[in-house]
Structure 1
Amino acid sequence: MKYKKPTKSSLLLRWSYSVPLLSYLSFFLLIWTLSLPLSPFTRRNTVLIDDRQWNKIEDSFEIRMKNSNFNSDKMKIGIPVTEEDKNEYLVNVNNKANENRNQNDILQDVFSRADKDKNGKLDSNELSLWIRKKIMEHISLAVSNNFNLFSDIDVDPRNGVVTWKEYHSYFLKKRGFSSKYAKNHDERRHKGLLRTVKEQILRDKAYWMEAAKSNPDALTVDEFLAFTHPESSAANQLALVDELYDKFDRNGDDFLTEDEFAILQTEGGDETLVIRQDENQRRAEFRKSIDLNGDGKADRRELLHYIAPQSPRHSEHEAEALLSLADVDKDSMLSLNEMLAHPDLFLKSKMVDTARSFHDEF
């Protein structure tokens, strides 16, 4: 077979996909391996939310990834709802027979897998380890699935960016509308769409405009990740670091000290009000989760590690919250009965449905 030399356009298209993906993966490698502070950049307003990598992901139970921007509303637009739709979040993707398990079966399965010492109880450490494992899975899948979804939508033309028109057409076809309807749909009127679908489009448009930095009508690969999975976006995480500096770095030296983090100050007229409520807890938080090298101050890399979803503090806080709400007998451990007595709490938590929990926060 005669070798066909690649054209310039095909090479350019290949690089338009591979360069952003490699840059993004390199960024995460930088976070977890280097100790140098990241250089500062322009600050902007954003909302502040409140290590060992797992080498092997358990192969028999996974939570199906759910993209919040593609929430289906099939029943309301006349499309039959299948059993798979009913269990869109909570299915065993490796075993079709288990797709229709009820809530108790799902919770029992999760409990059994999280109970490492098999004593019929989950302590805070077991809860935290399981939750962090699910977070690591979610972030890994979000990044890998983002590129595939991006490629599926970037078709008209396939040029390395997703336009709002391409996304909107994909949005409609995912809800059962024909390609002809999606192509000719008048976005100004949204004729034929129910109110709930119109509201979803408006929400998506708002999220889109927030994610779009270079072009309001098109998203790059990383901007698309910020649109579909804001918690996984490198740009969003860097913005959260800026928010921490804006809120706590009172002397503007691009370092956060223990005192700055622990002692809050608010401006009231000509006076500065010092707030020392929960100061001891905040100092403990700074020493344990922020100041990684113990020098009494935090640089950008340490703050980036602190706010990143992979940070152990997120799973620890979630475990503490679940225990405080469901530990009825106050033994600082969670039994299966206590878990089954609070199904909604656990089914919507990062312990079970990590993807939806993250998206609800944003």
Structure 2
Amino acid sequence: MRWPRIWSLLGAETRSKRRLLLVVSVYVCLMGLVWLAQVPLRPSYKTQIHNKLTDALQQQLKKPDRRPEKQFEALLADPKETGQQPEKVLTVIFKRVDGDQDNLISLVELVTWINSKIQHHISQSLRENFVIFTMVDSNPRNGLISWEEYHHYFLKKHGLNETYIKNHDKKHRGLVRSIKETIMKEKRAWSEAARSDPSYLNVDEFLAFRHPESSHSTIVQLVEELLDKFDRDGDDTLTETEYASLRAEGDLEHEAEELRQGEGERRAEFRTLIDKNHDGRADRNELLVYIDPRNPRHARDEAETLVMLADTNKDGFLSLPEILNKMDLFLSSKMVNAAKSFHDDF
């Protein structure tokens, strides 16, 4: 008999507490509005982090740049363009490559150096591609670059004034022969890179045009060409035998003999460098890794070739006199100028 009375009292008490809680809540909200009117809003956590990073960057920019790399990178430019003495360029680089300072460059030191130059060049190419693309894409700014836009940028970069750029004829009468030849070379490279539209390049095609060694689409194309040439059974993979038994382009007997002599080396290369999962076949992914210029095997191949051609006393090391004796070889190599060497290769 007492339970209904108890529930009634409890219900009344609950309703009273609810009214009191509502009054307190309204009061707190009003006081909060008054406080917010006088105190600026606290920035979000994301905004605080952004501000801290901005402050840190500003402080970093105020510090003087003591890195010696800027002067050194300028030294690595083509001596013919910068006026640097080739002997000086090679001497400075020799001292940098010679890590243990024993006046000899070992194969390990040379591989390490060339690999670092390759990685730096490709990373730099990827960073600057979008910046230059945005700069060239100006008339109109539509996310595509026409040959006329790029040609304007090219002529301006080579020191020609706006009057000449706007009024020049197609044959570029009056320009020095070297620039004319460069323009023709650029036009051919443009045609190869413009896959979606022959008149325009998108940002990826622009990378393939200026730095094909840094373009994923170029590397994919090379893989497809490799499969098309050597995949005899058409299963989109390469076997060791297919890779090792390269087909001669001509019918000359001495070419076939050279291919047979290198078969053992190509088999070893396939097993150690290409077929990473050791299943006897190389698929597209394995071939992509193998062809990618960032693969350290390219630095090793370059270093071994340089040592083989320049090591006159056959001690397995390179001395400064040996390098200076093969000056043209080293000036065109990735040891000195990775960008120029890549562009010559491609």
Q: With structure 2 as the length reference, what TM-score do the two structures score?
A: 0.72
* Residue 171 of structure 1: aligned partner: 154
Q: Does 2:198 match 1:212?
A: no
* Residue 252 of structure 1: aligned partner: 234
Contact kept, 8 Å, 2:77 with 2:337, in 1: the verdict is no
Contact kept, 8 Å, 1:164 with 1:217, in 2: the verdict is yes
Higher Cα Rg: structure 1 or 2?
2
Say if 1:194 and 1:344 are closer, same or farther in 2 by CA, change over 3 A.
closer
CA distance in structure 1 between the partners assigned to 2:298 and 2:193 by the alignment? 24
CA distance in structure 1 between the partners assigned to 2:156 and 2:128 by the alignment? 19
CA distance in structure 1 between the partners assigned to 2:124 and 2:107 by the alignment? 26
Q: 1:241 Cα deviation (Å)?
A: 0.3
* Residue 324 of structure 1: aligned partner: 308
The answer to which of 189-198 and 106-115 deviates more is 189-198
Say if 1:266 and 1:329 are closer, same or farther in 2 by CA, change over 3 A.
closer
Equivalent AA in structure 2 for residue 171 of structure 1: F
Equivalent AA in structure 2 for residue 89 of structure 1: D
Say if 1:198 and 1:313 are closer, same or farther in 2 by CA, change over 3 A.
same
Q: 1:319 Cα deviation (Å)?
A: 0.7
Equivalent AA in structure 1 for residue 127 of structure 2: S
Equivalent AA in structure 1 for residue 109 of structure 2: E
Say if 1:62 and 1:248 are closer, same or farther in 2 by CA, change over 3 A.
farther
More helix by share: 2
Q: 1:322 Cα deviation (Å)?
A: 0.7
Aligned ranges 1:43-62 → 2 under 5 Å: 59=69, 62=72
Q: 1:337 Cα deviation (Å)?
A: 2.0
Aligned partner (choices 50, 70, 89) of residue 78 of structure 2: 89
Q: 1:60 Cα deviation (Å)?
A: 6.0
Q: Does 2:93 match 1:110?
A: yes
Aligned ranges 1:190-229 → 2 under 5 Å: 190-229=172-211
Percent identity, aligned pairs only, is 50
CA distance in structure 2 between the partners assigned to 1:127 and 1:242 by the alignment? 32
Equivalent AA in structure 2 for residue 357 of structure 1: S
Equivalent AA in structure 2 for residue 146 of structure 1: N
Question: Larger relative CO (CA 8 A, sep 6+): 1 or 2?
Answer: 1
Q: 1:134 Cα deviation (Å)?
A: 0.4
CA distance in structure 2 between the partners assigned to 1:102 and 1:185 by the alignment? 35
* Residue 307 of structure 1: aligned partner: 291
Q: Which consecutive unaligned segments of at least 5 residues does structure 2 have?
A: 1-66
Q: 1:265 Cα deviation (Å)?
A: 4.2
CA distance in structure 2 between the partners assigned to 1:175 and 1:169 by the alignment? 10
Aligned ranges 1:223-238 → 2 under 5 Å: 223-238=205-220
* Residue 6 of structure 1: aligned partner: none
CA distance in structure 2 between the partners assigned to 1:130 and 1:61 by the alignment? 17
Q: 1:331 Cα deviation (Å)?
A: 0.3
Q: Does 2:73 match 1:63?
A: yes
Say if 1:181 and 1:206 are closer, same or farther in 2 by CA, change over 3 A.
same
DSSP-derived class of the 2:151 partner? helix
CA distance in structure 2 between the partners assigned to 1:173 and 1:268 by the alignment? 45
Q: RMSD in angstroms over aligned alpha carbons? A: 2.7
Q: With structure 1 as the length reference, what TM-score do the two structures score?
A: 0.69
Question: How many residue pairs are counted as aligned between the two chains?
Answer: 274
